[in-house]
């Protein structure tokens, strides 16, 4: 039976990443204020973790400790002037009632007051720091509160981290359960390990922490499935798009291409925004969140021939289609793509300029309905980019401050880069071009989205193992 929430204080030297840790654990990129200046957090601030609407964990961010050496000296002075033998918590309480707690050690007093009320504390340390007297004194003071302490080696992913030195120093202080963590690039199972270690210190609360771990895993899976469905919906909609070209001249072609480009761009952006909110990133935080986006957008247009080239996809369904209609757009006449109709393709080669001079007459002679649609290469780029975003969102903490550099390689989502059957089906169903809300109740489209979500999910699980 889980009754009341666990109270955990996050304490440590200033600038070690305490607030960043809270951002990561609560998945809230807006929690508190983070900066590389010391002394950023000035007050205790609470954050709650809920499961099924019930608060399981209350985490308290605290100001960084700065004056540990002098504070320990004061505590020792106070202890010496007192005859009776006091335990640690009584000594801390006595300090909190004394004048220096309201004055010189005001920040430290806030931390200790909160710690006395807590079930346990994370002691966040910067693993790149050498172990100094100030750290030892800090730990000595925190230990006086009589609350289990779990040291957390932050910045553990940094090559400059001194993990062994820290482990030895902490063991010397009787602290053997330690967690490595990196709030900016947390290991995928980082949070599970953190709560498991905490459970080893708080045995009576093991059920509660297990529930948190389990809920975490379930939420992550549900989020992944919802993300795959969003991407599938984007791909089905875009694959089905067709732009009718009525009069067959260069101007009308150009207009059609432009319209199609605009629609695809808007749909991709809407998908990016839905994915970000699913992973609880706010659009204006994306810049600082180490994602492969700039201002919440992909930097390169999906139709940029350079992007298609660097991502290693063929430009256009064929030389002719690419040249006549712009990169990534395929011209179809009478249901036949011009890329496939090699003979006609050869006539059209040379691009829009050539088309203006010589092509219009030839094009006019082609019979059947003429329309533009996006090429397979664009669908591959769209699929890869959104999956790349999901991988980045899964792997980055909410505390990241620098953008990750994208690999610019096409993620091998589908075997041999062949588009799945559901996308081919969408090609033949122009009515599926409307987005999900507009085509509500179209079972064929809904089935295609579900099937494609599974294909994407399979592709993603191979990528995650790499």
Ligand X SMILES: Nc1nc2c(ncn2[C@@H]2O[C@H](COP(=O)(O)OP(=O)(O)OP(=O)(O)O)[C@@H](O)[C@H]2O)c(=O)[nH]1
> Minimum CB separation from Mg ion for residue 129, in Å?
16
Q: Is 68 in the site for ligand X (CB under 6 A)?
A: no
Distance CA 300, CA 303 (A): 8
Q: Is 83 in the site for ligand X (CB under 6 A)?
A: no
Q: Is 14 in the site for Mg ion (CB under 5 A)?
A: no
Q: Is 14 in the site for ligand X (CB under 6 A)?
A: yes
Distance CA 93, CA 98 (A): 9
Judge whether 183 and 127 are in contact, CB under 8 Å.
Answer: no
Residue in 9, 29, 47, 64 binding ligand X, rule: CB under 6 A: 64
> Minimum CB separation from Mg ion for residue 58, in Å?
17
Residue in 34, 75, 199, 392 binding ligand X, rule: CB under 6 A: 34
Residue in 4, 30, 39, 251 binding ligand X, rule: CB under 6 A: 39
Residue 357 exposed, middle or buried by CB count within 10 Å (0-12, 13-18, 19+):
exposed
Q: Is 40 in the site for Mg ion (CB under 5 A)?
A: yes
Residue in 182, 233, 243, 388 binding ligand X, rule: CB under 6 A: 182
> Minimum CB separation from Mg ion for residue 15, in Å?
8
Nearer of residues 40 and 210 to Mg ion, judged by Cβ: 40
> Minimum CB separation from ligand X for residue 23, in Å?
8
Which of the stretches 13-21, 90-98, 112-120, 364-372 binds ligand X when contact is defined by CB under 6 A? 13-21
Give the residue from 423, 443, 464, 390 showing the smallest Cα distance to 232: 423
Which of the stretches 30-38, 89-97, 271-279, 452-460 binds ligand X when contact is defined by CB under 6 A? 30-38
Q: Is 41 in the site for Mg ion (CB under 5 A)?
A: yes
CA 131 to chain centre: 32
DSSP sequence for 340-397: T-HHHHHHHTTHHHHIIIIIHHHHHH--S-EEEEE-HHHHHHHHHHHHHHHHHHHHS-
Distance CA 92, CA 228 (A): 52
Distance CA 260, CA 381 (A): 16
Number of residues forming the site for ligand X (CB under 6 A): 23
68 binds, among Mg ion, ligand X, none (CB under 5 to 8 A by kind): none
Nearer of residues 265 and 395 to ligand X, judged by Cβ: 395
What are the structure tokens assigned to 163, written together?
């993990």
Residues 132-161 that bind ligand X (CB under 6 A): 154-155
Residue in 4, 30, 35, 266 binding ligand X, rule: CB under 6 A: 35
Judge whether 292 and 333 are in contact, CB under 8 Å.
Answer: no
Judge whether 54 and 3 are in contact, CB under 8 Å.
Answer: no
Which of the stretches 139-147, 181-189, 315-323, 355-363 binds ligand X when contact is defined by CB under 6 A? 181-189
Residue 192 exposed, middle or buried by CB count within 10 Å (0-12, 13-18, 19+):
middle
| Residues near ligand X, by CB under 6 A | 14-20, 34-36, 38-41, 63-64, 154-155, 182-184, 399, 401
| Residues near Mg ion, by CB under 5 A | 18-19, 40-41
């Amino acid at each position: 039976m889980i009754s009341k929430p666990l109270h955990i204080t996050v304490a440590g030297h200033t600038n070690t990443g305490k607030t960043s840790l809270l951002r990561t654990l609560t998945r809230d990129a807006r929690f508190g204020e983070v900066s590389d200046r010391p002394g950023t957090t000035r007050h205790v601030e609470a954050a709650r973790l809920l499961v099924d609407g019930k608060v399981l964990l209350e985490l308290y961010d605290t100001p960084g400790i700065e004056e540990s050496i002098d504070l320990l000296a004061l505590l020792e002075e106070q202890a010496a002037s007192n005859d009776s033998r006091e335990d640690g918590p009584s000594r801390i309480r006595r300090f909190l009632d004394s004048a220096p707690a309201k004055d010189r050690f005001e920040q430290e007093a806030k931390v200790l007051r909160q710690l006395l009320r807590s079930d346990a504390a994370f002691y966040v340390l910067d693993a790149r720091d050498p172990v100094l007297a100030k750290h030892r004194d800090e730990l000595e003071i925190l230990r006086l509160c009589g609350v289990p302490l779990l040291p957390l080696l932050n910045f553990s992913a940094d090559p400059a981290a001194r993990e062994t030195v820290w482990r030895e120093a902490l063991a010397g202080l009787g602290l053997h359960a330690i967690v490595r963590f990196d709030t900016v690039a947390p290991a995928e199972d980082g949070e599970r390990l953190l709560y498991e270690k905490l459970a080893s210190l708080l045995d009576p609360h093991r059920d509660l922490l297990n529930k948190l771990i389990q809920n975490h895993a379930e939420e992550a899976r549900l989020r992944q499935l919802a993300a795959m469905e969003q991407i599938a919906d984007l791909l089905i909609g875009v694959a089905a798009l067709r732009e009718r070209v009525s009069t067959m001249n260069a101007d009308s072609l150009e207009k059609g291409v432009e319209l199609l480009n605009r629609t695809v761009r808007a749909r991709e952006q809407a998908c990016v925004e839905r994915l970000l909110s699913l992973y609880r990133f706010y659009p204006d935080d994306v810049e600082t969140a180490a994602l492969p986006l700039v201002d919440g957008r992909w930097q390169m247009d999906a139709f940029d021939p350079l992007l298609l080239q660097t991502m290693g996809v063929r430009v256009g369904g064929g030389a002719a289609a690419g040249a006549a209609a712009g990169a990534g757009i395929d011209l179809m006449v009478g249901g036949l793509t011009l890329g496939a109709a090699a003979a006609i393709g050869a006539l059209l080669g040379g691009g829009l300029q050539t088309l203006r001079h010589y092509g219009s007459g030839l094009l006019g002679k082609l019979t059947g309905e003429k329309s533009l649609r996006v090429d397979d290469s664009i669908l591959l780029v769209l699929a890869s980019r959104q999956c790349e975003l999901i991988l980045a969102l899964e792997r980055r903490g909410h505390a990241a401050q620098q953008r990750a550099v994208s690999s610019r390689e096409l993620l091998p989502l589908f075997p041999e880069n062949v588009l799945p059957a559901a996308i081919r089906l969408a090609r033949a169903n122009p009515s599926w071009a409307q987005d999900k809300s507009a085509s509500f109740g179209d079972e064929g489209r809904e089935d295609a989205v579900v099937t494609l979500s599974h294909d994407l999910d399979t592709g993603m699980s191979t990528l995650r193992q790499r």
